């Protein structure tokens, strides 16, 4: 939702980043205010997932230009764990498997780390168990999840639910969801989308990184940005995603100048 | 990233200090006179001296093994002192009489013995260098007929048992280091659980090498008679030295019908510094004989120390329906080398064995799993399951697996699974994106990796092992 007097959470200006000497992001500008939901759409290789990882601080990428402010902080100066503790969350496209580590143990460690950072009470295993079970209802998750090893043997849909569960637990200020819809059937997509909608409020913000419009039927964005070859070439409202759906990405390539001009 | 790992791994060894206790040290060198001296110092009967001399003669005809995947300068066996004992004072009846200096050593190690004994209900047979100083809970154990004492004491008090079993599982000429041990062993533990007795508490020995340059040749013998059961814990720490120290122990286990022996080790000998200087050479022969039907021998080991580890705790499954188990975690860092694994020799019908080996390598270290599963023609319907997993931290270390499988009976079922994984950037990134720092992430990943082994350890050992691993790998990932 677009809220009056909302404050700016994320401010990206001219961000450039490369991996192994190849420039992927070529000057990204993006402003996200509290209460807003943004969708970043693009083809494979357009740089949309790179943008997500760069904002979260993945060490494989080298920042070659631009600035990123997160609230009052210089985000690029912070280590990945400090970005997380400051309230930035990335739901992974491919969540990592950690054999032998019970999900509940991992979730509690993450939760308590963030709680400690916020000066709030940490939960012991029993308290946490009650707390996490309540959150799991939101995502229609089986309590068996808690005892299984983190993401090990999870189906695609289970992994994505587990990511959104972490988002629900950690209550980030800014969530970046990288390809949440990939590998989900329609029922799982609705459940995950429902979870995202319930977590969204006027004080936090969400960035959906996606290839398809499908997800946006269930999580309705306030802004849609189209990224191509490492820069945002079009920005519009939710109708831009629908337009893209009918006309395809080729249309963007052909019209980015005029449309960009029209939006501006 | 690797800089963080490095700083975590490279914490100085906590237990590096030398206790000043007067030692009675034999002159360096090995010949028949040395062996006669050791035997005389210990007032040994003639049969034991001839056992030693026979082993020495065998040893002279043998050559040091070179097949293992470890490298070290040639050992000068004439430069080692083969006997070192704290000056014998009067016999100690209680812990109060133990040298306070010695007690302080245990305090520094975080093993306040009297507390450990009282709180944990563990009887600790303390080995300090080579002579047993005090044995606690002995009386309580004696009430149920359990003998738990130093092996040199048992030689005098229960010679018939020692004569009957010593060298029956690991013969004097079994291998180079076992022969050496049989010739010059100074002390160790003896444990005898009589028929029908389930040992009411875990039995525990804390080893500690103290005098610089002294070889350590421990000898342990554990016997569980029919329907008996025992859980034995062995833990090691060692002070910091620059010269390498040889540790060549022999452990023999014998389980009769329906008997159950569980042997757990947490090994933390000094591993050398971050440049690979110093550290213990741990060349150990451990073997259990599941002699009776339905008997069970279970080895669990957590190997974190030593410059070089060379050991294969093994099971000979002779009794029908007998069971052998081997659960191992071997951690190497810096320039440590480990070549460890097991042998499961199936002789009896319906014998079963399980091998779970977890190797973790960091720094410039090298870790090898070497295991033999042998199904003899007599072992009808034998089964084995082996699982060997390796984890690499960083890109300078190595992990190797050498499984040997020999099946001579068509009814056998033998399974072998192996995997290699790497703590990678992506795994650490996932943790850090949830606010968890690299140190905690590594600790959690490692403990998850080792879970199948840790859950085999007695409770307090499991806690210790978890801490030890985190400590050992601190800074190796980042």
Task: Assess if residue A71 is contained within a domain.
Answer: yes
- Looking at the DSSP bridge assignments, the partners of residue A175 are A89, A206
CA distance B266 to chain A (A): 21
CA distance A95 to chain B (A): 8
Which residues in chain A are contacts of B437 at CB distance < 8 A? 81
Q: Is the ipTM of this complex over 0.85?
A: yes
The total domain count for chain A is 1
| Phi, psi dihedral angles at B416 (to 5 degrees) | -135, 125
Which residues in chain A are contacts of B391 at CB distance < 8 A? none
pLDDT, position B110 = 54
CB spacing of A100 vs B429 below 8 angstroms? no
Alpha-carbon span B127 to B123, nearest angstrom: 13
CA distance A49 to chain B (A): 14
State pLDDT tens for residues A127-166: 999 999 999 988 888 888 899 999 998 988 899 999 999 9
Which residues in chain B are contacts of A59 at CB distance < 8 A? 1, 425, 429
Q: Does B435 touch chain A (CB under 8 A)?
A: yes
Exposed/middle/buried for B472, CB within 10 Å: 0-12, 13-18, 19+?
buried
Which residues in chain B are contacts of A83 at CB distance < 8 A? 433
pLDDT, position B459 = 74
pLDDT, position B243 = 54
Instruction: Return the closest-CA partner of residue A26 out of A3, A49, A46.
Output: A46
Distances (CA, A) of A205 to A5, A155, A178, A181: 14, 28, 14, 18
CB pairs under 8 A between A and B: 72
User: Between B426, B433, B449, which is nearest A100 by CB?
Assistant: B449
pLDDT, position B279 = 82
Which residues in chain A are contacts of B430 at CB distance < 8 A? 92, 95-96, 98
The residue with tokens 């859980």 is B231
Task: Assess if residue A114 is contained within a domain.
Answer: no
Q: Is B264 helix (H, G, I), strand (E, B) or coil?
A: strand
Residue B422 near residue B432 (C-beta atoms within 8 A): no
Domain hosting residue A93, numbered range? 8-97+174-263
Task: Assess if residue A90 is contained within a domain.
Answer: yes
State pLDDT tens for residues A61-104: 999 999 999 999 999 999 999 999 999 999 999 999 888 889 99
Helix axis angle for B459-473 and B438-449, nearest 10°, is: 130
Q: Does B449 touch chain A (CB under 8 A)?
A: yes
**Any idea how long chain B is?**
478
Q: Does B427 touch chain A (CB under 8 A)?
A: yes
pLDDT, position A261 = 43
CB spacing of B433 vs A105 below 8 angstroms? no
Which residues in chain B are contacts of A96 at CB distance < 8 A? 426-427, 430
Alpha-carbon span B20 to B16, nearest angstrom: 13
Which residue, among B2, B389, B433, would best test binding to A if mutated, counting the most A CBs under 10 Å from its CB?
A: B433
CA angle at B94 for the pair B91 and B96, rounded to the nearest 5°: 105
pLDDT, position B411 = 96
CB spacing of A114 vs B435 below 8 angstroms? yes
Chain B residue with Cα closest to A82: B435
Q: Does A115 touch chain B (CB under 8 A)?
A: no
DSSP A96: P
3-state helix, strand, coil in chain A (%, to 5): 40, 30, 30
Task: Assess if residue A156 is contained within a domain.
Answer: no
| Phi, psi dihedral angles at B427 (to 5 degrees) | -60, -45
Which residues in chain A are contacts of B449 at CB distance < 8 A? 99-100
Task: Assess if residue A81 is contained within a domain.
Answer: yes
Mean pLDDT by 10 residues, chain B (478 residues): 42 53 69 89 92 94 86 82 60 56 55 41 45 54 86 92 95 93 89 94 61 65 96 67 72 97 86 79 93 96 87 96 95 89 97 95 90 96 95 88 94 92 85 90 87 83 72 66
CB spacing of B430 vs A117 below 8 angstroms? no
Q: Give DSSP secondary structure letters for B39-105.
A: HHHTT--HHHHHHHHHHHHHHHH------SS---PPP-GGGSB--EEEPP-SPPSSGGGS-HHHHHH
Which of B388-422 are b and which e, b meaning 16 or more Cβ less than 10 Å from the residue's Cβ? bbbbbbbeebbbebebeeebeeeebebeeeeeeee
Higher pLDDT among residues B7 and A10, named by residue = A10
Please tell me the least confidently modeled range out of A178-182, A221-225, B136-140, B223-227.
Answer: B136-140
A39: domain CATH number is: 3.40.50.300
pLDDT, position A75 = 96
pTM for the whole structure: 0.78
CA distance B454 to chain A (A): 11
Instruction: Return the closest-CA partner of residue B287 out of B175, B402, B162.
Output: B175
The residue with tokens 């994320």 is A10
**Any idea how long chain A is?**
264
CB spacing of B433 vs A89 below 8 angstroms? yes
Instruction: Return the closest-CA partner of residue B181 out of B220, B219, B234, B154.
Output: B219
Task: Assess if residue A129 is contained within a domain.
Answer: no
Chain B residue with Cα closest to A175: B433
CA distance A165 to chain B (A): 12
Long-range CB contacts (within 8 A, 24+) of B412-415: B412/B346, B412/B375, B412/B379, B412/B381, B412/B382, B412/B383, B412/B384, B413/B382, B413/B383, B413/B384, B414/B373, B414/B375, B414/B383, B414/B384, B414/B386, B415/B384, B415/B385, B415/B386
User: Between A59, A89, A98, which is nearest B445 by CB?
Assistant: A98
């Amino acid at each position: 939702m677009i809220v009056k007097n909302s404050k700016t959470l994320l401010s990206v200006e001219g961000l450039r980043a490369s991996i192994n000497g190849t420039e992927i992001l070529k000057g990204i500008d993006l402003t996200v205010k509290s209460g807003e939901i943004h969708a970043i759409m693009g083809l494979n290789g357009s740089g949309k997932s790179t943008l997500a990882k760069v904002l979260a601080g993945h060490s494989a990428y080298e920042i070659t230009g631009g600035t990123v402010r997160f609230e009052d902080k210089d985000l690029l100066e912070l280590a990945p764990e400090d970005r997380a503790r400051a309230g930035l969350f990335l739901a992974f496209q491919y969540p990592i498997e950690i054999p032998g580590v019970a999900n509940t143990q991992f979730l509690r460690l993450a939760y308590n780390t963030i709680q400690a950072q916020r000066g709030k009470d940490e939960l012991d295993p029993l308290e946490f168990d009650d707390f996490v079970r309540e959150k799991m209802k939101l995502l229609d998750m089986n309590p068996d999840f808690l005892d299984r090893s983190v993401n090990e043997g999870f189906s695609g849909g289970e992994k994505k639910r587990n990511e959104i569960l972490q988002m629900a637990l950690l209550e980030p200020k800014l969530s970046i969801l990288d390809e949440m819809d990939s590998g989900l059937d329609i029922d799982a997509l609705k459940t995950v989308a429902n979870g995202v909608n319930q977590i969204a409020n006027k004080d936090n913000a969400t960035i959906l990184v996606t290839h398809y419009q499908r997800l946006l039927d269930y999580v309705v964005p306030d802004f849609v940005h189209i990224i191509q070859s490492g820069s945002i070439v079009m920005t519009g409202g939710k109708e831009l995603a629908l337009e893209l759906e009918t006309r395809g990405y080729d249309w963007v390539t052909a019209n980015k100048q005029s449309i960009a001009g029209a939006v501006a | 990233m690797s800089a963080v790992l490095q700083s975590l791994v490279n914490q100085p060894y906590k237990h590096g200090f030398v206790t000043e206790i007067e030692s009675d040290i034999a002159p360096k060198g090995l010949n028949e006179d040395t062996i006669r001296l050791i035997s005389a110092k210990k007032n040994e009967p003639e049969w034991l001296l001839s056992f030693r001399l026979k082993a020495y003669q065998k040893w002279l005809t043998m050559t040091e093994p070179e097949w293992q995947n470890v490298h070290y300068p040639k050992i000068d066996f004439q430069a080692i002192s083969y006997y070192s004992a704290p000056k014998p004072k009067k016999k100690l009846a209680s812990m109060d009489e133990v040298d306070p200096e010695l007690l302080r050593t245990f305090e520094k190690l975080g093993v306040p013995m009297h507390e450990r004994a009282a709180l944990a209900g563990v009887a600790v047979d303390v080995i300090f260098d080579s002579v047993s100083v005090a044995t606690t809970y002995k009386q309580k154990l004696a009430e149920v007929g359990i003998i738990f004492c130093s092996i040199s004491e048992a030689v005098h008090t229960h010679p018939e048992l020692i004569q009957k079993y010593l060298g029956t599982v690991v013969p004097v000429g079994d291998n180079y280091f076992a022969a050496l041990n049989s010739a010059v062993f100074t002390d160790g533990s003896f444990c005898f659980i009589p028929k029908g007795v389930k040992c009411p508490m875990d039995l525990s020995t804390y080893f500690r090498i103290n005098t610089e340059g002294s070889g350590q040749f421990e000898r342990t013998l554990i016997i569980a008679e029919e329907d008996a059961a025992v859980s034995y814990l062995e833990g090691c720490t060692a002070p910091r030295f620059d010269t390498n120290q040889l540790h060549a122990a022999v452990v023999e286990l014998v389980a009769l019908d329906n008997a159950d022996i569980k042997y757990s080790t947490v090994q933390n000998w000094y591993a050398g510094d971050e440049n690979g200087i110093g550290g213990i050479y741990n060349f150990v022969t451990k073997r259990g004989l599941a002699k009776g039907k339905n008997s069970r021998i279970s080895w669990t080991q957590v190997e974190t120390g030593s410059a070089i580890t060379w050991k294969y705790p093994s099971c000979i499954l002779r009794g029908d329906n007998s069971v052998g188990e081997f659960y191992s975690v071997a951690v190497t860092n810096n320039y440590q080398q480990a070549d460890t694994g097991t042998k499961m020799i199936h002789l009896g019908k319906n014998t079963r064995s399980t091998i779970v080996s977890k190797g973790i390598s960091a720094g410039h270290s090298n870790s090898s799993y070497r295991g033999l599963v042998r199904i003899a023609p007599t072992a009808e319907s034998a089964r084995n399951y082996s699982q060997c997993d390796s984890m690499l931290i960083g890109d300078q270390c190595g992990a190797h697996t050498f499984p040997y499988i020999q099946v001579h009976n068509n009814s056998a079922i033998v399974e072998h699974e192996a995997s290699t994984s790497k703590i990678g950037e992506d795994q650490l990134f996932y943790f850090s994106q949830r606010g968890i720092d690299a140190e905690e992430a590594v600790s959690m990943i490692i403990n998850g990796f080792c879970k199948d082994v840790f859950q085999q350890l007695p409770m307090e050992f499991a806690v210790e092992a978890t801490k030890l691993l985190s400590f050992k790998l601190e800074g190796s990932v980042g």
